[in-house]
Amino acid sequence: MSDTLFGPDNLPYGLFTTPDAPGHRRLGVRFGDDVLDLGAAAAAFGSLHTEVLRAPSLNALMAAGRPVWQAVRAEVRAWLTDETHRETAARHLLPLPQVRLHLPFEVADYVDFYASEHHATNVGRIFRPDSEALTPNWKHLPIGYHGRAGTVVVSGTPVTRPRGQRKPPSEPVPAFGPSQRLDIEAEVGFVVGTPSTMGTPVGLAGFREHVFGVTLLNDWSARDIQAWEYVPLGPFLGKSFATTVSPWITPLDALDAARVAPPPRDFPLLPYLDDSAGGIEPGGYDLRMTVRLNGHTLAEPPFSTMYWTAAQQLAHMTVNGASLRTGDLYASGTVSGAEPAQRGSLLELTWGGREPLELPDGKRTFLEDGDEVTLTAWAPGPGGTRVGLGDVTGRVTPVE
Ligand SMILES: O=C(O)/C=C/C(=O)CC(=O)CC(=O)O
Ligand SMILES: [Ca+2]
Ligand SMILES: [Mg+2]
């Protein structure tokens, strides 16, 4: 078990059904290549938290708050690892191939940030070659936009090629049709558990109290639709057709050994974003991501290079008094490192489609029908172990 990505220091949460009871959604914890049926195990062990663990989504546990998250995590770990409990727990373990995984929580609001300096610089150069790559606000606040919560889907859900308006600069009027520049964005999503009160901002120190866990996320993006529609209000239909998340939500506590300081800041930050003061935990996470297209590795984006941290994004998102709801999902923004092989989108990897990638199955700029994209990631765990994030996969299907 020591070299698994899903050992006793990880224990991510998911939601599953079995073929004999397809309508009965059950919470599970991944352990190696098995799923622990949480509700059944909780009842067998007489857990105080049986009710939230028998709920048909993660929202009840997420809303219960950090003390309950910590208590449940300690219990589950004991069930799976203590000699006295293992026999009982084994009765509630199911092999992964025998279950179907579902979107594990009800998404409330969905927000996407733009926090990689390398990504933002690359996109600025590609989309706005005649302007400064970074806008004047970029290093003073984490830029974000509101996405579409209802089209967040679980890994494995097919993604239909979106249709829309597109207008290359060379054309006088827009045309309508299937996107010809369908892209991916390799991101990390943060899932809010504990809600907050309207009018009361959540400071940097509130991150651990409010954020339940982490998921990999693919922010599918139609670059031709996006480039024509986004001025002046930002991304809209170019991104709202689908966003894929992992079926496994990794608890923040599983990523403690992966915490790192973010890159040095180029400007002093306003107090509500300033994490250089004493007493604030390092806000970065050392997550090593891989992007694959039809099995070929395209890039290895390093999350540790993100300029803005998830704690700063949460503080910014609430500084105006906006409240948090259980199930709010906010994404980091595309993760791109300094090296070309660390870029988290095809837009950057092919420099706007001008430099096709040479793959074993031919040249590639943007996604073709039938393409399958997979994001994976792991983080350093305690004592030299590794903590895996759940994979995020999606295949592009043609539009009728
Ligand atoms: O700079 C732009 O015009 C647009 C950038 C994006 O694609 C928005 C986005 O999703 C941000 C990100 O993933 O980092
Ligand atoms: Ca994005
Ligand atoms: Mg999206």
User: Which amino acid is residue 114, in one-letter code?
Assistant: Y
Report the nearest-CA residue for atom 12 of ligand 1. 333
286 half-sphere exposure, CB direction, 13 A CA radius: 13
Take residue 369 and report the two structure tokens written for it: 């029908």
Take residue 225 and report the two structure tokens written for it: 């639709």
For residue 223, how far is its CA from the centre of ligand 1 (angstroms)? 10
* pLDDT at residue number 236: 97
The CA angle 251-41-83, to the nearest 5 degrees, is: 90
Tell me the C-alpha distance between 313 and 310, whole Å.
5
Tell me the C-alpha distance between 114 and 146, whole Å.
12
- Closest among 302, 282, 259, 312 to 140, alpha carbons compared: 312
pLDDT in tens, 95-107: 999 999 999 999 9
* pLDDT at residue number 3: 64
* pLDDT at residue number 361: 85
- Please name each of the domains of the chain with its CATH number: 13-101 (2.30.30.230), 110-397 (3.90.850.10)
Residues 6+ apart with CB under 8 A from 237: 162, 164, 222, 225, 229
User: Are 381 and 144 contacting, i.e. CB atoms less than 8 angstroms apart?
Assistant: no
What DSSP assignment string belongs to 103-163? Answer: --S----EEEE---HHHHHHHHHHH-TTS-SS-TTTTTS--EEE--GGGEEETT--EEPPE
- Mean of pLDDT over the chain: 97
Strand, coil or helix: 212: strand
- Closest among 92, 114, 2 to 47, alpha carbons compared: 92
* pLDDT at residue number 272: 96
Tell me the C-alpha distance between 246 and 190, whole Å.
12
Catalytic residue among 49, 92, 118, 119: 119
Task: Indicate whether residue 127 lines ligand 1 (CB < 6 A).
Answer: yes
219 is in an annotated binding site: yes
358 is in an annotated binding site: no
Ligand 3 ion local residues (Cβ < 5 A)? 219, 239, 243
User: Are 106 and 33 contacting, i.e. CB atoms less than 8 angstroms apart?
Assistant: no
* pLDDT at residue number 380: 98
Residue 400 pLDDT grade (very low, low, confident, very high; cuts 50, 70, 90): confident
Q: Is the pLDDT of residue 2 over 60?
A: no
The model carries a pTM of 0.97
pLDDT in tens, 62-111: 999 999 999 999 999 999 999 999 999 999 999 999 999 999 999 999 99
Residues 6+ apart with CB under 8 A from 295: 372
E strand or H helix at 101: strand 100-102
What mean pLDDT comes out for the span 267-295?
Answer: 92
* pLDDT at residue number 231: 93
Tell me the C-alpha distance between 349 and 336, whole Å.
10
pLDDT in tens, 222-246: 999 999 999 999 999 999 999 999 9
Tell me the C-alpha distance between 37 and 31, whole Å.
11
Residue 38 pLDDT grade (very low, low, confident, very high; cuts 50, 70, 90): very high
Tell me the C-alpha distance between 353 and 127, whole Å.
12
pLDDT in tens, 181-228: 999 999 999 999 999 999 999 999 999 999 999 999 999 999 999 999
pLDDT in tens, 111-161: 999 999 999 999 999 999 999 999 999 999 999 999 999 999 999 999 999
Residue 1 pLDDT grade (very low, low, confident, very high; cuts 50, 70, 90): very low
Task: Tell me if residue 119 is catalytic.
Answer: yes
Q: Is the pLDDT of residue 347 over 50?
A: yes
Q: Is the pLDDT of residue 33 over 90?
A: yes
Q: Which ligand is nearest to the CA of 113?
A: 1
What mean pLDDT comes out for the span 378-382?
Answer: 97
* pLDDT at residue number 277: 78
Mutate to test the pocket of ligand 1, among 114, 181, 224, 229 (most ligand atoms within 8 A of CB): 114
Task: Indicate whether residue 183 lines ligand 1 (CB < 6 A).
Answer: no
Tell me the C-alpha distance between 305 and 186, whole Å.
14
* pLDDT at residue number 252: 98
For residue 114, how far is its CA from the centre of ligand 1 (angstroms)? 6
